[in-house]
Structure 1
Amino acid sequence: MATRRDFYEVLGVDRNADADEIQRAYRKLVRAYHPDVNKDPGAEDRFKEISEAYAVLSDPETRRRYDAFGHDFRQVPPDVDPAEYARARAGAGTRVGAGGTWRSAPPEGFGFGADIDLDDLLGGMFGGRGGPRWGPVPGADQEAQLTLTVEEAYRGGRRSLTLPGGKRLDVTIPPGVTNGQRIRLAGQGGRGGDGAPPGDLHLIVRIADHPRYRVEGRDIHTALPLAPWEAALGATVPIDTPGGEAKLKVPPGTSTGRRLRLRGRGMPNPRGAAGDFFAEVRIMVPATLTDAERRLFEQLAAASRFDPRGRS
Structure 2
Amino acid sequence: MEFKDYYAVLGVERDATQDEIKRAYRRLARKYHPDVSQEADADTRFKELGEAYEVLKDPEKRLAYDRVGQGQRAGEDFRPPPDWDTGFEFRGGGYTQEGYSQEQHAAFSDFFESLFGHGAASYRSTSYDSTGFGPSGGARRAGLRGEDHHARVSIALEDAYLGATRTLTLQSGELDEQGRVRPHRRTLKVRIPKGVKQGQRIRLAGQGEPGMDGGPAGDLYLEIEFDANRRYHVDGRDVTLTLPVAPWEAALGATVNVRLPEGAVDLKVPPDSQSGRRLRLKGRGIPGEPAGDCYVVLQIVLPSAKDEDVKAAYRRLSEAAASFDPRAAEEGES
2:278 paired with 1:274: no
Cα deviation code 1:210-264 (max 9, x no counterpart) = 1211111111111111111111111111111111111111111111111111111
Cα deviation code 1:121-158 (max 9, x no counterpart) = xxxxxxxxxxxxxx711122211121112223333211
Cα deviation code 1:285-305 (max 9, x no counterpart) = 112343333233222211223
Return closer, same or farther for 1:205/1:48 CA change in 2, 3 Å cut-off.
farther
2:324 paired with 1:306: yes
Question: How many Å apart are 1:189 and its aligned residue?
Answer: 1.3
Q: Distance in 1 between matches of 2:237 and 2:231?
A: 16
Aligned match for 1:246, one of 242, 265, 272: 265
2:161 paired with 1:154: yes
Secondary structure at the counterpart of residue 267 of structure 1: coil
Aligned to 1:232: 251
Aligned match for 1:207, one of 212, 219, 226: 226
Would you say the 8 A contact 2:204–2:219 is kept in 1?
yes
Structure 2 stretches lacking a partner, 5+ long: 1-49, 51-81, 83-110, 128-132, 173-183
Secondary structure at the counterpart of residue 194 of structure 2: coil
2:299 paired with 1:292: no
Would you say the 8 A contact 1:51–1:181 is kept in 2?
no
Code of the residue aligned with 1:301 in structure 2: it is: S
Code of the residue aligned with 1:252 in structure 2: it is: P
2:290 paired with 1:283: no
Q: Distance in 1 between matches of 2:114 and 2:318?
A: 46
Question: How many Å apart are 1:48 and its aligned residue?
Answer: 10
TM-score (norm 2): 0.53
| Superposition misfits of 4+ residues, deviation over 6 angstroms | 41-51
Code of the residue aligned with 1:276 in structure 2: it is: D
Cα deviation code 1:178-206 (max 9, x no counterpart) = 21110011111111111111111111111
- Does 1 or 2 have the higher relative contact order (CA < 8 Å, sep 6+)? 2
Number of aligned residues? 206
2:193 paired with 1:174: yes
In percent, how many aligned pairs have the same letter?
Answer: 42
Return closer, same or farther for 1:295/1:168 CA change in 2, 3 Å cut-off.
closer
Question: How many Å apart are 1:51 and its aligned residue?
Answer: 7.5
Secondary structure at the counterpart of residue 172 of structure 1: strand
Cα deviation code 1:61-95 (max 9, x no counterpart) = 75xxxxxxxxxxx7xx5359xxxxxxxxxxxxxxx
Q: Distance in 2 between matches of 1:79 and 1:273?
A: 31
Secondary structure at the counterpart of residue 246 of structure 1: strand
2:213 paired with 1:194: yes
Larger displacement relative to structure 2 (143-152 or 255-264) = 143-152
Q: Distance in 1 between matches of 2:267 and 2:297?
A: 12
Q: Distance in 2 between matches of 1:46 and 1:256?
A: 41
Question: How many Å apart are 1:54 and its aligned residue?
Answer: 4.6
Q: Distance in 1 between matches of 2:295 and 2:286?
A: 12
Q: Distance in 1 between matches of 2:118 and 2:240?
A: 18
Aligned match for 1:78, one of 130, 133, 138: 138
The equivalences for 1:32-71 within 5 A come to 52-55=123-126, 62=135
Aligned to 2:41: none
Q: Distance in 1 between matches of 2:155 and 2:239?
A: 15
Code of the residue aligned with 2:280 in structure 1: it is: R
RMSD: 3.6
Secondary structure at the counterpart of residue 167 of structure 1: strand
Code of the residue aligned with 1:176 in structure 2: it is: G
Q: Distance in 1 between matches of 2:239 and 2:121?
A: 18
Secondary structure at the counterpart of residue 190 of structure 2: strand
Would you say the 8 A contact 1:182–1:202 is kept in 2?
yes
Code of the residue aligned with 1:139 in structure 2: it is: G
Cα deviation code 1:247-283 (max 9, x no counterpart) = 11111111111111111111112xx121111111111
Would you say the 8 A contact 1:48–1:180 is kept in 2?
no
